[in-house]
Every structure is written in structure tokens, then in C-alpha cells.
Amino acid sequence: MEISGEILRTKKPSWLKVKLPTHKNFFEVSALLNKKGLHTICQSAKCPNISECWSKKTATFLIMGDICTRNCRFCAVKSGKPKDLSPEEPARVAEAVEAMRLKYAVITSVTRDDLKDGGAAFFAETVTAVKEKSPDVKVEVLIPDFRGDAEALKTVIESRPSIINHNLEVPYPLYPYINRRPRFYSRSLKLLERAKEIGAYTKSGIMVGLGESYQQIIQTLKDLRNVSCDLLTIGQYLQATKSNLPVHKYYSPNEFNVLKSKALGMGFKQVESGPLVRSSYRAHELYIRLMEEN
């Protein structure tokens, strides 16, 4: 099967429909997060998997507030001037992880260009707090680019997360379209390369459906493999609000299977590829398969 590069505007297909939450775990997780005053990327980015993940008592914690200093045109997270960091937040995240009895926790953040280290020390503090309270929990961090600061990256890695995740999001030619400077693409690749050199397992993710060509997708995967990226997620871009970019094409499940096969053939150790796949979707399962392979 081949993937069409044509731009296709259409109504949302049936395979993108999600069920409303009904499981009691969903409401327990919601109540716990509200009680602890915590944000999740599930809510802020309007993730379509929120019902499935919360029902399984998994969530991706969003630290350092819910206001981003950048304004990427695909993202539903608010942008503007962030509030001051909350010194109690790492402890609150650790308490929530313990209360949810998690075996695997994912921690991400808004981009904080207003902070000297981009929030790296706060990431490290949060990972450490989680590990101290729940020693057996594996922690994945989905980090921003820290403006290319190698020391900031080192600070996070020294807190010993299990996975360093950083998304390229889209192929290089689309960076201006999503309101990112083209040089950020090579900066992100360098971050993943440095993390790998230090000894971390690395992960990245891309979205499709913003007008990219099949050749551009393949080149992006090659760029990630050139920096020895271990894990990959590929998902369908969905327009979260009217102010976000429109969907140019809905990829079929079969097309996602083609991309997964191509990625595995390039040497990625594990790949999640599908219409509803997001950066931390089934992250624990991906990690387990990686460990079994090694």
C-alpha cells in the first residue's frame, strides 16, 4: 500500500471517534488532580485519549503551570506570560503518583523561555520527588528544547528518568507554518543526540495531517534515526480550536501501519503509530517492550 501525498479536506472519519468517559477511575483521577491543584497535558492539549488513559489511571502531568511562552499554531495549550513556579508542585506530583499507585509516570511541561534554565532544575526536582516517594516507579520526561542548553539537559538526565522524550512534531519544511523557527528543528535533533550520548533512552514524536508529503515524513524519520532515537510515536493532527491550524488530511489506519513498518525498518526499537496516538499514549507499554528487547 502507498500513502497519498495529496491534501484531502474531509469530515472527521469514524476511526477518530472516541467514547465519553464512564469508568469510575476516570472520575477518581479527575477528582485527585483537582484536589492536588495539578495540570495535565491531557486536559490542556485536549487529548482525545483522556477517557481511555484516565480510566486506566494514567495521566501525563504538566508542570510549571499551564501557560506556554511560545505560540505554536497546532497547540491548544494557552500562551502568554506564565505565573511564578510553585515550590510545592514537585511534592504534589509525587503525592498524586503515589495515590494513583502508578508504575509508570510521564511528566511534561509548557515551554518556559522566561526561566534561565528553561525549567530543567524543576524537572529534575519533580523526578527526584516522585522517585523518593515511589522508588519503583519508572518516570518518562517529555521535555522542551531548553533553548539548546546542554547543561540544562544534563541536569534533567542526572535525575535519572527512564526515558527522555522530545518531539520534533512535524517535518522541517513545515516549521514556519506551525510558527517555529526552522533552526529549532536541528536544535531538537541535537538535544536527542546529546541525550543519547549521555546514555539515555530517547523518544520522539511527529504529527501527520498538516500538509506534509510522504517524502518529508520519511526524511524526518531518517533524521531521527541519524541521532539514534530509540522510540517513536506517529499520530494524526487534530484541530483543537478554531484558532489552530486546519487539518489538511486524515490518514487511514492502514496508512499509519505503513509508516510504522517503514520506521521499524529504519531501526527504531519500538513504534506506536495510529490515528489517536499521542506522545505519551501507552508509554508504559512502549517502555516494557523496549526493556524486553534489551
Residue 29 has what pLDDT?
Answer: 62
Angle at 209 between CA 176 and CA 220, to 5 degrees: 60
CA dihedral 11, 13, 18, 20 (to 10 degrees): 50
Whether the predicted pLDDT of 274 surpasses 60:
yes
* E strands in 143-269: 163-165, 202-208, 231-236
Single pTM value for the model: 0.88
Helix (H) or strand (E) holding 139: strand 138-142
Mean pLDDT (whole number) for 170-188: 97
Give 105's strand partners: 139
- Check whether domain 19-293 has CATH 1.10.1030.10, yes or no: no
What confidence category does residue 17 fall into, taking pLDDT thresholds of 50, 70 and 90? low
Residue 163 has what pLDDT?
Answer: 97
What confidence category does residue 57 fall into, taking pLDDT thresholds of 50, 70 and 90? low
Share of the chain above pLDDT 70, in %: 82
The domain ranges of the chain are: 19-293
CA 16 – CA 28 distance, rounded (Å): 25
What confidence category does residue 38 fall into, taking pLDDT thresholds of 50, 70 and 90? low
Whether the predicted pLDDT of 1 surpasses 50:
no
Mean pLDDT (whole number) for 43-71: 69
How many CB atoms neighbour CB 105 within 10 A?
Answer: 29
Look at 1-5, 65-69, 290-294 and tell me which has the smallest mean pLDDT: 1-5
How many CB atoms neighbour CB 133 within 10 A?
Answer: 17
pLDDT (tens digit, 9 = 90+) per residue, 99-157?
888 888 899 999 999 999 999 999 999 999 999 999 999 999 999 999 999 999 999 99
Q: What share of the chain is helix, strand, coil (3-state, %, to 5)?
A: 40, 15, 45
